[in-house]
Structure 1
Amino acid sequence: MANSIPLKLYLATRARSERGTRRALARGDTPEDEKAQEHERLGHAGIERPDGPLIWIHSGQDRHALAARELANRLRAEREELNFLFTTSARARRDSEEHLISQFAPDEYVPAIRSFLTHWKPDLSIWTEPDVRPALAAGAAGFGVPLYLIDAHTAPTETQGWRFWPGVSSTLLTDFRHVITGDPVKAGALRRLGAGPAKTEIVGYLEEGTAALPCNTAERDDIAKDIVGRPVWLAGHAADAEIEPILDAHRQVLRRTHKLLLILVPDDPEAGPDLAKAIRDHGFTASLRSSGAFPVSDTQIYIADTEGEMGLWYRLAAVSYLGRSLEASGGVNPFEAAALGSAIIHGPNVRNYRRAYGRLASAGATRMVRNTNQLSEALEALLSPDIAALMAHEAWKLCTSGAEVTDRAMDLVLTELDEREPA
């Protein structure tokens, strides 16, 4: 498709709009944050390319970025030398993380695409949500970047600029080496867009989920023996403003469930010692993880003020309140709890993971609360083993619903990387 006449005409119209953008930037009246965005969209990166293999993942709109990042984390678990570049065409993008770089996708403008590809030199590209850009795909293929589309379920029905150019749509997917979709109807539509039968595979759709967080099994068994027979709930990533409602809810439920143990993971682990003193001043018996203490029979609150142990706490708690959500922090990834069989309670402020919480809520796998009373009511209800088990099972099913697609995508990527390595 790279040299087709329809594509050249399409690019000519895009070039005119890009000249207007560049003139606006040159005038100097564009706000600084918008100017930075436009520079990225014109292919100018603000950071250096990392050393080693770089996988470029284009997620189109940001609603699919969580699933894509989980795929990246699984790939990095297999190949620790991998780095990842995420691009989006949304109006906002997520922040970069270690080994996960976020950028705005270059506009459909040859110099922008050339600048983007020259700087990043990606070894392979995965498109996980169908914002299929003809010029960007053709440019990447021309640079020798292998392209894979693994979540093709809305591209045939979305109205995009390239649809008005005869000859572009029928060859849109010819530059992709492999296309994965979820049903035969979509597969047929994708083939009409240039995805040949030999490279179109019906597997499923990529969804948010996560691999189970690790833990020290021996330590898990030791703590489980110490708390056997006790109902346990977890308040994870609890922000400062959430501590008081969490303690109030715990106190209310303790009146009826005297052996109840709260594992409290503060959002700031360094606050552990001060938090322990404040909790004891509130009349609770508490012990502190960082001091080497384990929960004993009279421990009412165990303060887990360490990092990297959420896999341990989710395994020990039948019910988890997920923090950063009663106040306006944006929530935490609910699939970490779901993957380990913990029923989920959360507050209303989960904007960073809105789609994930929405899917779980639709399946009846979460309880949303707004205040202390609702938190204590939800906690008391979910301490019923039957209710908690049902919710946890529904959450686990959703958590694993995209596993087959993720596994297939990993096979494709790792095989491609193996073949590209020098003998």
Structure 2
Amino acid sequence: MPRKPFSLKAYLALNRDRTGAVPADFLRAERPAGRLLWAHGDSLSRLRALVSVCQRIRQQRPELSVLVTGPDTLVDPGMIRDDLPGENVPEINAFLDHWAPDHCLWASHALRPALLHLASERGCGLTLIDADDREWTTPSARWLPDLAPATLGQFDSILATDESSERRLRRMGVSPENLTLAGPLTEAAVPPDCPIRQHEEMAALLVGRPLWLAARLHPDEVDVILRAHGRASRLAHRLLLFVVPDNPADQAVIAAQVDAAGFRVCHWDAGEMPDENTQIILASGPEELGLWYRLAPLAFIGGSLVPGRQGHDPLEAAALGSAILYGPAVGRHLASYSRLAEAGAARIVKDVDTLSAAVSQLIAPDRAAAMAHAGWDIISAGAAMTDQVVDLVLDRLDRMEAT
């Protein structure tokens, strides 16, 4: 094991006897038996991306348990959540004694020297992902030398986002053998599936018709969607809209709004099929979104026109080739929408005027295809980085079990 730099030795000594032992009545979730992967992210967007990476890993290792630390947010139901311990040895030892992680995926520029060093000493593999060109921080005293280089040296592998970040890490003393150029961490999309035969039948039935989708709608958005569809239909007389409520419990309310607007409606879940005169296909809920995304080259993602709501994940639409429209209320998914919008794969709309104008412009096949291609580039970049992390973790677990 390489010798610890003086700065790290001094920091560990200062934190070894600090108060902060875990209270006797402190309760953690029970640690499952078997291997445990620990994932830490410092923001909601990074944590969501990490969770999607861990989901991919568990597809091949379903027996693997996953511990997630980071911002207080919901995680995948099959994963465990905990808070990071304080940066003192008693709390860290209690954390590591309980969870005994086999590998850690760390996605944060806020480094924790004592925690990471003690985890490494116990044989926990450490992988730093999404290492970009931002400053590295540690909670060390100002009089101590910069602890970031010594802490970065604790990682077995570091995945840099670009060449500039890679060069900076080398200047900080990171060994080239531990560095990989992998691109930025982005949330991976797991697109919803649909029966191939059903898709082929519907695609043949609707061939030649301009199509768009309003997915995961909230009842308060329906009026805007219907009015925009009416305006756009004046320019494209065969325009067909798929309306998909987010909550099946809202289907009756939304159906009443659609029927009252006077459109010719096909009630999909009642077993009806569209004909040449159908203007709207109304589904009862999001269960068959895989079909609608594959059919519609343009999709408005709902839950985004209602103030105070959080919107919905746009990546499943991008992964299935839809150009994307969305409102301003996207909350926790803002990073994904911003990335898609910057690439030209998504456009924000705010009201009937902007929505109807966007639909009229983007139902042109070449316009929607250009946006969809830009979205696919974003999805592909994220998938390549995810593949690298998945392969790295699976390889380490295989080697651990072979010894």
Q: Give the conservation status (yes or no) of the 8 Å contact 2:209–2:238.
A: yes
Take 1:319 and 1:71, find their aligned partners in 2: how far apart are those partners?
27
- Are residues 160 and 138 of structure 1, via their aligned partners in 2, closer, same or farther at CA, if it must alter by over 3 Å? closer
Size of the aligned set, in residue pairs, is 400
**Equivalent in 375, 386, 397 of residue 366 of structure 2:** 386
1:360 corresponds to 2:340: yes
Task: Give the alignment of 1:323-338 within 5 angstroms.
Answer: 323-327=302-306, 328-338=308-318
Aligned to 1:124: 103
Deviation at 1:228, TM superposition (A): 1.4
- Are residues 262 and 297 of structure 1, via their aligned partners in 2, closer, same or farther at CA, if it must alter by over 3 Å? same
Report the AA paired with residue 369 of structure 2. A
Take 1:397 and 1:268, find their aligned partners in 2: how far apart are those partners?
31
Task: Give the alignment of 1:6-405 within 5 angstroms.
Answer: 6-11=7-12, 46-88=28-70, 92-154=71-133, 157-162=135-140, 164=142, 165-166=144-145, 168-191=147-170, 193=172, 195-327=174-306, 328-405=308-385
Q: Give the conservation status (yes or no) of the 8 Å contact 2:44–2:332.
A: no
Take 1:182 and 1:60, find their aligned partners in 2: how far apart are those partners?
16
Deviation at 1:411, TM superposition (A): 0.8
Deviation at 1:414, TM superposition (A): 0.9
- For residues 20-51 of structure 1, give each alpha carbon's deviation from its aligned partner in whole angstroms, at most 9, with x where no partner exists: xx9xxxxxxxxxxxxxxxx99x9956533345
Aligned to 1:415: 395
Q: Give the conservation status (yes or no) of the 8 Å contact 2:160–2:182.
A: yes
- For residues 246-296 of structure 1, give each alpha carbon's deviation from its aligned partner in whole angstroms, at most 9, with x where no partner exists: 122122222332221111110112333453344223322223333333333
SS of 1:400's equivalent in the other structure is helix
Unaligned runs of 5+ in 1: 23-38
Take 1:237 and 1:383, find their aligned partners in 2: how far apart are those partners?
20
Q: Give the conservation status (yes or no) of the 8 Å contact 2:325–2:348.
A: yes
Take 2:17 and 2:225, find their aligned partners in 1: how far apart are those partners?
57
Q: Give the conservation status (yes or no) of the 8 Å contact 1:66–1:208.
A: yes
- Name which of structure 1's ranges 111-120 and 6-15 shifts more when overlaid on structure 2: 6-15
The RMSD of aligned alpha carbons is 2.9
SS of 2:262's equivalent in the other structure is coil
Q: TM-score, normalised on structure 1?
A: 0.85
- For residues 378-412 of structure 1, give each alpha carbon's deviation from its aligned partner in whole angstroms, at most 9, with x where no partner exists: 11111122211111111221222233221111111
Take 2:101 and 2:289, find their aligned partners in 1: how far apart are those partners?
33
Aligned to 1:35: none
- Name which of structure 1's ranges 271-280 and 215-224 shifts more when overlaid on structure 2: 271-280
Take 1:203 and 1:47, find their aligned partners in 2: how far apart are those partners?
34
Report the AA paired with residue 67 of structure 1. A
- For residues 292-334 of structure 1, give each alpha carbon's deviation from its aligned partner in whole angstroms, at most 9, with x where no partner exists: 3333333222122244432221111111000111012111111
Unaligned runs of 5+ in 2: none
Deviation at 1:147, TM superposition (A): 1.0
Report the AA paired with residue 84 of structure 1. V
Take 1:364 and 1:163, find their aligned partners in 2: how far apart are those partners?
45
Deviation at 1:207, TM superposition (A): 2.5
- Name which of structure 1's ranges 327-336 and 47-56 shifts more when overlaid on structure 2: 47-56
Take 2:32 and 2:325, find their aligned partners in 1: how far apart are those partners?
39
Report the AA paired with residue 10 of structure 1. Y
Take 2:236 and 2:84, find their aligned partners in 1: how far apart are those partners?
53
Take 1:69 and 1:166, find their aligned partners in 2: how far apart are those partners?
34
Deviation at 1:5, TM superposition (A): 5.3
- Are residues 170 and 228 of structure 1, via their aligned partners in 2, closer, same or farther at CA, if it must alter by over 3 Å? closer
Q: Give the conservation status (yes or no) of the 8 Å contact 1:170–1:194.
A: yes
Q: Give the conservation status (yes or no) of the 8 Å contact 1:59–1:131.
A: no
Q: Give the conservation status (yes or no) of the 8 Å contact 1:43–1:112.
A: no
Deviation at 1:95, TM superposition (A): 1.4
Take 1:61 and 1:2, find their aligned partners in 2: how far apart are those partners?
33
**Percent of pairs identical after alignment?**
37
Report the AA paired with residue 392 of structure 1. A
Take 1:307 and 1:391, find their aligned partners in 2: how far apart are those partners?
23
Q: TM-score, normalised on structure 2?
A: 0.88
Deviation at 1:343, TM superposition (A): 0.8
